[in-house]
Structure 1
Amino acid sequence: MDTESGKDRKFVEALARGLNILRVFGDGPVMMGNQELARLTGLPKPTVSRMTYTLTRLGYLNQHPDTDKYQLGSEVLSLGYTYVANLRVRQLAKPYMDEFAREYGMSVGLTCRDRMHMIYVENRMPPVKALLRVDLGLRLPLATTSAGRAFIAGHSAKGREQLQDELAAYYGAEKWQEKQPGLLDALAMYDREGFCLSLGEWDRNIVSAGVPIGLQDGTQMALTCAAPAYEIGVERLKHTIAPRLAGLAGDIQALGA
């Protein structure tokens, strides 16, 4: 660290700004202009204009000729698919996830963290029954879903505290006060039972269970199963399905992913 400026000399500020502009499209409208991007990122409009011009030239953004607004380009998609395709755990886990989905009639997903969200990088569905359609790339809130709670639960006490501090800053005091108790209950459940639940807290119609998965390269992920509440009773989820999901996570980790 640079002790005088408090900044990391190796940190490339311009690159970080460009990536932050791309990230804004994950939470905002599909198409945005420079003024809106400047407002959402807190960057000066001239800086945003240079960034969007460069990102457009590189194919990471496309500019609509009539409105001059931008949307994500194909190069962003290629980066995402390259990452997903190279995840060895996906290939190893698929047959096990398929078997679980068939046996319990639930969707089974692998998720990884993206800031204050979890993203599906794999999802397997039970045959015939399309109970809960989940597309790859779907983002789930970290604090209120079983995937996010399981991800946090897989960390040390210090890591859990740090993630909660990040969530508190993200939500603000009032909203965090509403969300933290459910997260703390889920972490306590993981310490007792080996899994986390989310019972309608993200979507009131959905119940789900989640467990952390640690890969050999140090990557932390979460395995989750979900279904409409009317299909899966809470007691069955808690006493039968969630413990089996924890066993599935152990099986996948044993494969050496």
Structure 2
Amino acid sequence: MTTIARPDAGFLRSPSAEKVLADHAGDAAFATTLGRGLVVLEAFDVGGALLGNADLAARTGISRPTVARLTHTLAELGYLRYDWKLSKYRLGARALRMAHPLLAGMEFRQAARPLMQDLAQSVRGTVSIGLLDGASAIYVETARSGDVGTHVPDIGMPIPVILTAMGRASSAALPAVEFALLEQCLKADNPDLWSAYRDKYHAGVEQCAERGFCTCYGEYMASIHAVAAPLFHVPALKQSFAINCGIPAFRLQSGQLESEIGPRIKALADSIRALVNEVGPMIAHS
């Protein structure tokens, strides 16, 4: 992958430790062993919650002997747990500790949660807050009604920026310079995906500027239609947040997403900002 030269680009860190490891090959200041350990941890996902050393070597490209040393160390530290019957590893409870300080620092989530739940119940869908992280947006809070279909958002779950209303709205919340740098990141991260969806990505950002929300009609998941609104940007922490509402497509009437759900998610974003004394982003991109 082409390395993009950019100043103070910590907010554009790749969502994959594996990519960062490849980009820093030959960098004497880069702790390669630590990087490899994080690559191993990131190899665990919903589809691979239980993995052996051979599985991890295949997923990461790291040699099996090196993987074996890393998994042994991570298990001793509590970040992995070893299943003796299956001879495989799963994530350990200690991994949760790493997320807690970050989530605890987002105190607005507690204020937002009841309002999110009210909207989710009203529209029989999901309402979530996402944090921009490179080419992904990561859920940091979510609420849902009882039956939302096959897509059930959860805290920590990443979704692609280019394909989603959440991603486009969180991008729209960025200051202009950071927005331009993110666009370079998205193009370099997956040129084919960028070429196929850049027009819809730009259209979503323009919708946020004009109406305060953007729509997405099944581009990420065909069965789910969604709207999202920029929430706010925290300059000191390089954090950009958005809020979305996803509804099973069969529950929506023609035009309802734009005429009803969109204005409601914008109003919810306004209410959350008022509760926590945050200022909405100035959107002038694309």
Give TM class, smaller chain. 0.7 to 0.9
TM-score in terms of structure 1 length: 0.83
The 3-state SS of whatever aligns with 1:225 is strand
Instruction: State the match for 2:260 in structure 1.
Output: 240
C-alpha distance after superposition, 1:213-243 (max 9, x if no partner): 2265643222111111121235222123212
List structure 1 segments (4+ residues) > 4 angstroms apart after TM superposition: none
Letter in 1 for 2:154: D
Question: 228, 235, 239: which one pairs with 2:248?
Answer: 228
Whole-angstrom distance in 2 between the partners of 1:83 and 1:186: 28
Q: 1:170 to 1:88 in 2, by over 3 A?
A: same
Any residues of structure 2 matched to 1:73-88 within 5 Å, and which? Answer: 73-81=92-100, 83-88=102-107
Question: 209, 219, 223: which one pairs with 1:201?
Answer: 219
Whole-angstrom distance in 2 between the partners of 1:169 and 1:122: 29
Question: 10, 32, 49: which one pairs with 1:13?
Answer: 32
Q: 1:24 to 1:167 in 2, by over 3 A?
A: farther
Contact 1:90–1:122 (CA<8 Å) still a contact in 2? Answer: yes
- Overall identity of the aligned pairs, in %: 31
Q: 1:115 to 1:38 in 2, by over 3 A?
A: farther
Whole-angstrom distance in 2 between the partners of 1:14 and 1:256: 42
Q: 1:6 to 1:190 in 2, by over 3 A?
A: farther
Q: 1:87 to 1:8 in 2, by over 3 A?
A: farther
TM-score in terms of structure 2 length: 0.75
* CA shift for structure 1 position 50: 2.0
Whole-angstrom distance in 1 between the partners of 2:171 and 2:206: 12
Q: Which runs of 5+ in 1 are unaligned?
A: none
Whole-angstrom distance in 2 between the partners of 1:64 and 1:80: 24
C-alpha distance after superposition, 1:180-227 (max 9, x if no partner): 232122122222222121111111111111122226564322211111
Q: Which runs of 5+ in 2 are unaligned?
A: 1-24, 279-286
Contact 2:212–2:230 (CA<8 Å) still a contact in 1? Answer: no
Letter in 2 for 1:170: D
Letter in 2 for 1:16: G
Letter in 2 for 1:99: D
Instruction: State the match for 2:173 in structure 1.
Output: 154
Whole-angstrom distance in 2 between the partners of 1:241 and 1:30: 35
Q: What is the aligned residue count?
A: 249
Instruction: State the match for 1:36 in structure 2.
Output: 55
* CA shift for structure 1 position 115: 4.5
* CA shift for structure 1 position 28: 5.7
Instruction: State the match for 1:89 in structure 2.
Output: 108
Is 1:47 matched with 2:59?
A: no
* CA shift for structure 1 position 86: 4.6
Whole-angstrom distance in 1 between the partners of 2:26 and 2:36: 18
Is 1:179 matched with 2:197?
A: yes
Letter in 1 for 2:148: L
Is 1:100 matched with 2:114?
A: no
Whole-angstrom distance in 1 between the partners of 2:34 and 2:229: 34
